[in-house]
Amino acid sequence: MATNVFIGNNQPQSPTLIAVHSDQWSTGICGCFDDLNVCCFAYWCFPCFACNTASEFGECFCLPLLDMLWTTLQMMSVPLCTPPVSMSMRVAVRHRYGIQGDMTADCVYSTVCNICSWCQIAREIKRRSRPRTVIAAQPVYMGAQQYMMTTQPGVVTSQPIISAAPQGVLTPRVM
């Protein structure tokens, strides 16, 4: 549903578009309440969840199944064996999105709280891969005031964007 938005502005401004980039995870390691769908999917069917998350990131769908070897080693009482695919995915997500951190923290999160780590990865992929739409506004002259009119509901971005549309004064046509 489209809505009309009028913004009164008398001063012409140059167009600006500033994207704010975050170098931090968008949610914490225990931020399951930020996206309950992700949390429930991981809790009820973790292998399917991990495969789906890897696929959404662009990796092979079955890649997380290699961590089954990790589970087998854990059952044979080999203490704290780091799951290689889980850690690799965490490092890859961190590098793709420019998130600060180091491999030590990635190793600890992947080993100690693997499901929470996968949930954080899935939330990050979901938030950073949203489509971006920028509103195109057209100046409209109404009486003595200038207004910006748009017929779209708003700006949808994965990161905050500050935008000012180009503005101009429409003058009546002289015949």
The strand pair at 16-19 and 161-164 is best described as antiparallel
Q: From CA 151, how far away is CA 137, in angstroms rounded?
A: 8
Show contacts of 172-175: CB within 8 Å, 24+ apart.
Answer: 172/141
Amino acid identity of residue 136, one-letter, is A
Rounded Cα distance between 89 and 85, Å, is 6
CA angle 60, 126, 52 (to 5 degrees): 30
Residues 6+ positions from 114 with CB-CB distance below 8 Å: 83, 86
pLDDT tens for the chain, 175 residues long, are 444 444 555 544 444 443 445 789 989 998 888 899 999 999 999 999 999 999 999 999 999 988 877 777 777 766 667 888 999 999 999 999 999 999 999 999 998 889 999 999 999 999 988 765 556 555 555 565 555 555 545 545 444 555 454 555 555 555 5
Alpha-helix runs per DSSP H in the chain: 36-44, 46-57, 68-75, 84-96, 103-112, 114-128
What are the residues facing 21 on neighbouring strands? none
d(CA 65, CA 81): 16
CA angle 19, 21, 24 (to 5 degrees): 160
| Interstrand relation of 145-150 and 5-8 (parallel, antiparallel or unpaired) | antiparallel
